[in-house]
């Protein structure tokens, strides 16, 4: 069996052209962005679009124009949407406290507070009042009465 001992010379690769990162950081890269820097520029453009849409801006990297146009040029047009207003939950009244206020205070009650069982009293406003291990008087509305 014959072996080929001749080696072919490797073709020299042309050096890749280095460009400045488009986010404006100044990093030289073979692509449009340094790793992760596309998100930087995208975030800047989205914030500019949401705060002042239609206003011309000039970025650190020299790009100029309206944020929505720049987003479209970079292929990020789907991000040029107005911010959604935050939904607010209506606060529910707590009628349970009003009902507890009418009941008389209970003394000598054992209740579980967190992972500990404490002995104390339930005030007329529905709070469990007890003395903690440091001798401090503590009141809480988060407890479970133990029979």
Are 111 and 72 contained in the same domain?
A: no
pTM of structure: 0.44
- Same domain for 68 and 23: yes
Q: Does any domain span residue 47? A: yes
**Which residues form the domain of 47?**
19-79
d(Cα 126, Cα 36) in Å, to the nearest integer? 54
For residue 119, tell me if it sits in a domain.
Answer: yes
99/50 Cα distance (integer angstroms): 47
Q: In degrees rounded to 5, what are phi and psi of residue 47?
A: -65, -40
pLDDT digits (tens, 9 = 90+) for 91-142: 666 555 444 444 456 778 999 999 999 999 999 888 999 998 888 999 999 9
The CATH number linked to 104 is: 2.30.30
Residue 84 lies in a domain: no
- pLDDT tens-digit series, residues 69-80: 888 888 888 877
Task: Count structural domains, the chain.
Answer: 2
- The answer to the question of residue 100 being in a domain is yes
């Amino acid at each position: 069996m014959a072996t080929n001992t001749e080696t072919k010379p490797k073709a020299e690769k042309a050096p890749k052209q280095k460009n400045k990162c488009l986010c404006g950081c100044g990093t030289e890269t073979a692509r449009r962005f340094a790793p992760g820097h596309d998100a930087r520029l995208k975030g800047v453009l989205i914030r500019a679009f949401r705060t002042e849409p239609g206003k011309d801006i000039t970025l650190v990297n020299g790009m100029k124009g309206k944020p929505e146009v720049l987003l479209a040029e970079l292929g990020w047009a789907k991000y040029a949407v107005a911010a959604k207003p935050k939904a607010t939950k209506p606060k529910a009244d707590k009628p349970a406290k009003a009902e507890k206020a009418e009941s008389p205070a209970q003394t000598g009650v054992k209740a579980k507070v967190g992972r500990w069982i404490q002995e104390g009293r339930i005030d007329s406003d529905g709070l469990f009042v007890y003395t903690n291990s440091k001798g401090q008087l503590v009141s809480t509305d988060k407890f479970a009465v133990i029979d």
